[in-house]
Amino acid sequence: MSDDSPSWTVYMLRCRDGTLYTGATNNLERRLATHGRGRGAAYTRARLPVTLVWSEPAGDRGAALRREAAIKRLSRGDKLLLVGAAARRKPPRKRK
């Protein structure tokens, strides 16, 4: 992959009502801002605010869309396990 090609990310948002939304994008920052402005998916528009709870890089668009579809097929419990596992892997923040 060259430096100028978009990098793809699969992500999961927690909505105001506690539901989870899964998506894929080639610009996570921009997509989160779009969701936050109520201009994202219809599902999240009705459930603002949303919070990013999980993300994972994908090699290309096809891989991102396949991973997104696989996650959407998971049960809610399995999605929460995925979110929890990612949270445990993150190193603690250093306090200043």
69-80 tens-digit pLDDT? 999 999 999 999
Assessment of whether the complete model's pTM goes beyond 0.75:
yes
23-66 pLDDT tens trace: 999 999 999 999 999 999 999 999 999 999 999 999 999 999 99
Question: Could you state, in order of their start, the residue ranges of all structural domains in the chain?
Answer: 8-89
* Residue 21 backbone dihedrals phi, psi, to 5 degrees: -120, 135
Residue 35 CA to residue 13 CA, distance in Å, equals 10
The pLDDT value given to residue 89: 77
What is the topology classification, in CATH, of domain 8-89?
GIY-YIG endonuclease (3.40.1440)
Residue 50 CA to residue 7 CA, distance in Å, equals 23
List 51's β-bridge partners, or say none.
Answer: 14
The pLDDT value given to residue 72: 97
Alpha-helix residue ranges (DSSP H) falling in 1-55: 28-36, 42-45
